[in-house]
Structure 1
Amino acid sequence: MRKRFDKKVAVLFAVLSMAFIFLMGTDHEFFEWAFSRHQNILSWYIRPIFMIPICYFAFKRNATGISATIFLLLISMFWFPRPDAIDPKVADFLAMEREYLTENWTAAKIMVTSIVPISMGLLIWGLWKRNIKAGIGVLIGIAVGKIMWSVVEGGTSGAKVIIPAVVGLGICLVAIIWWYKSDC
């Protein structure tokens, strides 16, 4: 009974996630509103922290927890108010990201962008299988990949991602190792 409930609620959050992605892709006004709030650097620091519950729920084999956390990760970009003053490098990076997301979806761009859900799937799969080393390796790969993509695509403005990514990765690694050792 619990497994069936877990699957149904997980599907509900997966549908909500897809609806959010669809809304971001089709409603220009909503997209701009969300992106203007994403200029608040706090949203950049909170997003990597969502990897902790994703990893935890994967290790506990809780599909609802994984799916709900992914939904919260997606919508966290607009939880914070639009800042009064915006760092020019943050504005530059988000302008590049906005353009990346809204223009010219080529096969190459689709392949590069598909690395995000594939790597998340690998992270979840590795920890679902209780392979902590694989999970940590993929988590590090996600952080390094985000930094590399940000710097390659965003140039010097992409460097603004480095500190939030490294801080988030460090916090996630400490948390994952702590609960793994306390669980085993």
Structure 2
Amino acid sequence: MHEWLAELAAWAWERHHNVLSWYIRPLFFLPFCFFAYRRSWPGIVVTLLALATSMAWFPAPARPEPGVIQMLQVERDYLLGEWTAAKIAMSLLVPLIFLGVAAALWRRSFGWAMVVINGAFLFKIAWTFFYDADGSGAQAHLQAVLIGMLLVDAGLLAGARRHASRSRARMVARPPEGTAGAP
């Protein structure tokens, strides 16, 4: 069983060198936000499962770019290195970010959802530059993160506008209090 898991991890890791997986991963915030707004637990779970497997969706590149190799080596060294209390606390940020986004949208607060998501993107950028000594891997990762952040922000702004226009429409359609049922 252990050998099979090791082979599966190696297979997925090779595919994670395809930069398409880097560009698609931030976009999972969009369906996550949609399902959190709709308060759909099944949608949230399916989105998180898709996110967890997305690094293996694309074929392994024939010749990965040097910056990609560098960044993934930094990630691998980090994950396989000593797990200190600080590293555990930092790793707990990932579920806390998703919990924070879900809580914000559950309460219909697009602004707080954007704050949490943008904070997560900015933290990811800072993390990559902090742990990548020469910065080549971080530079390779930067474009995917920034494009993902802009697209997610655009999606959240569109969702906030739609929510606001629907709220206004409901307010206009609702009769004033005390007049319902009056002759």
TM range (shorter): 0.7 to 0.9
Give 1:179 shift.
Answer: 2.5
Is 1:83 paired with 2:61? yes
Tell whether 2:44 aligns with 1:66: yes
Aligned to 2:158: 178
Pairs within 5 Å for 1:108-147: 108-147=86-125
Other structure's SS at 1:32 match: helix
Kept after mapping to 2: 8 A contact 1:147/1:159: no
Distance in 1 of aligned mates of 2:126 and 2:5: 29
Q: TM-score, normalised by structure 2?
A: 0.83
| 2:16 partner amino acid | H
Does the Cα contact within 8 Å between 1:136 and 1:173 map onto a contact in 2? yes
Whether the 8 Å CA contact 1:93–1:154 is kept in 2: the answer is yes
- Bigger Rg, structure 1 or 2: 2
Q: Deviations over 1:25-71 (max 9, x none)?
A: x9322212111100000000000011001111111111111111011
Q: Distance in 1 between matches of 2:24 and 2:43?
A: 17
1:67-90 deviation digits (Å, cap 9, x = unpaired): 110110110000000001111111
For 2:98 and 2:128, the matched residues in 1 are separated by 18
Q: CA deviation at 1:136?
A: 0.7
Mark the runs of 5 or more structure 2 residues left unpaired by the alignment: 165-183
Return structure 1 stretches of 4+ with deviation > 6 angstroms: none
Matches within 5 A, 1:86-97: 86-97=64-75
The aligned runs of 1:22-41 (5 Å cut-off) are 27-41=5-19
Matching residue of 2:85: 107
Q: Distance in 1 between matches of 2:107 and 2:163?
A: 15
Count of residues in Structure 1 that have an aligned counterpart in Structure 2? 161
Name the CA distance, whole Å, in 2 between partners of 1:175 and 1:88: 32
* Secondary structure in 2 matching 1:83: coil
Q: Tell me by how many angstroms 1:104 deviates.
A: 1.5
Structure 2 matches for 1:39-50, cutoff 5 A? 39-50=17-28
Greater helix fraction, Structure 1 or Structure 2? 1
Structure 1 residues 103 and 30: CA distance shift in structure 2, 3 A: farther
How much does 1:175 deviate? 1.3
CA distance in 1 between partners of 2:140 and 2:45 (Å)? 28
Q: Which amino acid aligns with 1:168?
A: G
Q: Secondary structure at the match of 2:47?
A: helix
SS in structure 2 of the partner of residue 50 of structure 1? helix
For each residue in 1:115-155, what CA deviation from the matched residue of structure 2 results, as whole angstroms up to 9, or x when unmatched? 11111111111111111110011111011011111111123
Q: CA deviation at 1:170?
A: 0.7
Question: Secondary structure of the equivalent of 2:58?
Answer: coil
Deviates more, 1:94-103 or 1:74-83: 94-103
CA-atom RMSD, angstroms? 1.7
SS across alignment from 1:81 = coil
